[in-house]
């Protein structure tokens, strides 16, 4: 199964659509030239 991961800079997160309209997300911030992942949310 191939999924598209998209950036949502307005919400500072990466999003991956899943089945049944669910969404997996990873929140990030930029710090010192690096991307820091802060939190992830993945439906069960």
Structure letter (DSSP) for residue 6: E
Average pLDDT value for residue range 2-6: 85
Q: What is the pLDDT at residue 44? A: 84
Q: What is the residue extent of each domain of the chain?
A: 6-41
* pLDDT tens per residue, range 9-33: 999 999 999 988 899 999 999 999 9
The token pair at 28 is 């990030």
pLDDT of residue 6: 96
Residue 17 CA, chain-centre distance (Å), reads 10
Residues across the chain: 44
More confident residue, 2 or 35: 35
Per-residue confidence (pLDDT) for residue 1, from 0 to 100: 56
């Amino acid at each position: 199964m191939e999924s598209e991961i998209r950036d949502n800079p307005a919400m500072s997160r990466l999003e991956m659509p899943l089945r049944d309209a669910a969404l997996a997300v990873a929140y990030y911030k930029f710090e010192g030239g690096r991307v820091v992942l802060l939190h992830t949310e993945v439906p069960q």
